[in-house]
Chain A
Amino acid sequence: MLKVRVIPVLLLKEGRMVKTIKFSSYRDVGDPLRTIRVYDAQGADEIIFLDISATIDGRNQLLGIISACARECFIPLTVGGGIRSVEEARKVFAAGADRISVSTAVVENPSLINNLANNFGNANIVVCIDVKLDNEGVCRVSTHRATRITQLKPVVWACEAAERGAGEILLHFVDREGTMEYGYDLTLLSEVTHAVSIPVIACGGVGNLQHFVDGVRIGGASAVAAASIFHFTDQSPIKAHSYMNGAGLPVCLA
């Protein structure tokens, strides 16, 4: 039976691992390689890197980190942040990524999804949707690390992304990110998972292990991602697996 994946997310900035709250107020949380080794040992099913470096130097550091990580961790690595073309994607794959994640670039140029899928296969293209509430409290797709809000509705965009060849959606709840309080937005998550026939990874807001279970049971997520709970509490992928197994979900057990 296919297992539900538990995926730690690492946010990288200029080669360092950072943690944010609602995509701002950066805080340095350490050395990415050391962290990845820990997550690997704790049974993470996959790792997502999201790079927010503003400089070329920072971007090159990212490639170095992925390459070092691929050398010692034999689990899937999904890498996103600033990929704007097939050529850039090729570099990221060449550095050791197994799958890539794209967000702002494909909102601005949706046909990039088709191009990436034609080159690298649908299954390896993850479209990350940064969901943010607008002034009227309506969920919208945001871009540029959630500094710009578009008129796009997440469900509509998820369907278009799937239609164009996305293999998976990473649904990122910006307003909950780093808050560790309410878990995923289960209403929106469920709306998206029902609307698309591709798998959906939920991310943003997890504060306890029950939030993972709810994301799958109520939200219909195929995989559950989180950052803060693994950075700042004593919870780990292995404990998450055990808890989810206890709740009757199929997971990889150590």
Chain B
Amino acid sequence: MIFIVDYGLGNLLSVAKAFQEVSGDKKVAVSRNAKELETATHIVLPGVGNFVTGMRYLNDLELVEPLTVQVVQKKKPFLGICLGMQLLAEVGEESGETSGLSWISGRARRLRTGGLKIPHIGWNDVEIMNPYPLFQGISRSREFYFVHSYCLDCPHEYVVARCTYGDTFTAAIQKDNIYATQFHPEKSRDAGLKLLKNFLSISC
């Protein structure tokens, strides 16, 4: 079962629909039930929202501990999307400094665009550094859809794709069973659906 974390924020339905499109026989659950989380094969933290609010909701719903058990200890395949990627950091800089999930060493910081408009909204090219497994079978010239003002700074060894908007920032990461994209695969047409399918092909 694919468990999409419902923490009261975000385009949950869009994410659920996209997974339903590629999940085959697998059930897709949008849930905040910690018991149900234990039966998940894949966990997705979607992302529309503000860092502080996101962490507050995860804390209020008492989801941080159960998620950490399933993802960090049991090593279930995890995909963070947009804010769901930034929350993996130790610290977020949006609306003051806030502690994140700290599953990845790094900071979620404001984009540095050298005068270009912020937020960074729209379709942009993604430079794929390591196609396996997330970008397998995806043409290198495909654009993905971004909508964000912050990005994740983390050690280079985790970066599997980059994007340039004024400055170059992290577009996708991979650390063991933890995957995340700054762009929205659920809103990136066929290339995005392919990426989600690739994620589902990863087993625990």
Q: A2-B165, A99-B147 are in contact. Are A76 and B17 (CB under 8 A)?
A: no
Given A74-B188, A76-B187, A197-B118, 20 additional A-B pairs, CB 8 A:
A1-B124, A3-B124, A4-B122, A5-B121, A45-B122, A46-B122, A90-B8, A96-B17, A98-B14, A119-B50, A121-B48, A121-B49, A123-B119, A123-B121, A167-B119, A167-B121, A168-B121, A199-B122, A222-B121, A222-B122
Q: Chain B: interface secondary structure?
A: mixed
- A33 CB, min distance to chain B CBs, angstroms: 14
Within 8 A of B (CB), among A50-96: 67, 70-71, 74-77, 90, 93-96
Q: Decide if A223 is an interface residue (CB 8 Å cutoff).
A: yes
Residue contact B145 to A76, C-beta cutoff 8 Å: yes
Q: Are B149 and A123 in contact (CB under 8 A)?
A: yes
Selected from B17, B52, B148, B164, the residue in CB contact (under 8 A) with A123 is: B148
5 smallest beta-carbon distances between A and B, as pairs: A123-B119, A96-B13, A199-B117, A3-B123, A121-B49
CA distance A93 to B184 in the complex (A): 15
Q: Is the CB of A70 within 8 A of B49?
A: no
Are B122 and A2 neighbours in the complex by a CB distance under 8 Å? Answer: yes
Asked whether, in the complex, the Cβ of A167 is within 8 Å of the Cβ of B17, the reply is: no
Of A94, A118, A252, the contact of B12 (CB 8 Å cutoff): A94
Does A103 belong to the interface (CB within 8 Å)? no
A205 shortest CB reach to chain B, Å: 22
Instruction: Compute how far the CA of A67 lies from the CA of B50 in the bound complex, rounded to whole angstroms.
Output: 24
Interface string of A109-143 (1 = CB under 8 A from B): 00000000111111110000000000000000000
Instruction: Give the docked Cα–Cα distance between A74 and B123 (Å).
Output: 13
Residue from A75, A95, A98, A118 within 8 A of B95 (CB atoms): A118
Flag if A76 contacts B184 (CB, 8 Å).
yes
Q: Beyond A2-B165, A75-B145, A199-B117, is A121–B13 a contact (Cβ under 8 Å)? A: no
| Residue A107 CB within 8 A of the other chain | no
CA distance A90 to B17 in the complex (A): 17
Are A2 and B9 touching (Cβ within 8 A)?
Answer: no
Count of chain B residues with a beta carbon within 8 Å of a chain A beta carbon: 43
Of A71, A120, A122, A252, the residue contacting B149 (CB under 8 A) is: A122
A98 and B11: CB pair below 8 A?
yes
Residue of B nearest to A220 (CB): B117
Beta-carbon nearest neighbor of B57 in chain A:
A119
User: Which single residue of chain B is at the shortest CB-CB distance from A7?
Assistant: B122
Indicate the size class of the contact surface on chain A: 35 or more
A97 proximal to B (CB < 8 A): yes
Q: Which of A96, A98, A122, A167 contacts B184 (CB 8 A)?
A: A98
For the A-B complex, the count of residue pairs with Cβ-Cβ distances under 8 Å equals 119
CB pairs A–B below 8 angstroms (6 shown): A71-B20, A74-B186, A94-B13, A118-B53, A121-B50, A222-B122
* Distance A115 CA – B6 CA, assembled complex (angstroms): 20
Using CB atoms and an 8 Å cutoff, list the residues of chain B in contact with chain A. 8-14, 17-18, 20-21, 48-50, 52-53, 83, 95, 116-125, 143, 145, 147-149, 164-165, 184, 186-190, 192-193
Q: Tell me the bound Cα distance from A77 to B165 in angstroms.
A: 22
Q: Does A198 contact B (CB under 8 A)?
A: yes
CA distance A167 to B149 in the complex (A): 9
CB-defined contacts of B17 to chain A, threshold 8 Å: 70-71, 74, 96
Q: Is the CB of B48 within 8 A of A124?
A: yes
Among residues of A, the one whose C-beta sits closest to the C-beta of B18 is A74
Least CB distance from B186 to A in Å reads: 6
Answer whether A97 and B123 are a contact pair too, CB < 8 Å, given A3-B143, A74-B21, A167-B149: no
Among A1, A76, A167, A223, max chain B CB count under 10 A is at: A76
In Å, the complex CA distance between A181 and B25 comes to 52
CA separation between A212 and B117, bound complex, in Å? 19
Whether the Cβ atoms of B147 and A76 lie closer than 8 Å is yes
In the assembled complex, which residues on chain A have CB atoms less than 8 Å from the CB atom of B122? Answer: 2-5, 45-46, 199, 222-223
Could you say which residues of chain A place their CB within 8 Å of the CB of B12? 93-94
- Say how far A15's CB is from chain B's closest CB, in angstroms: 19
A1-31, CB under 8 A of B: which get 1 and which 0? 1111100000000000000000000000000
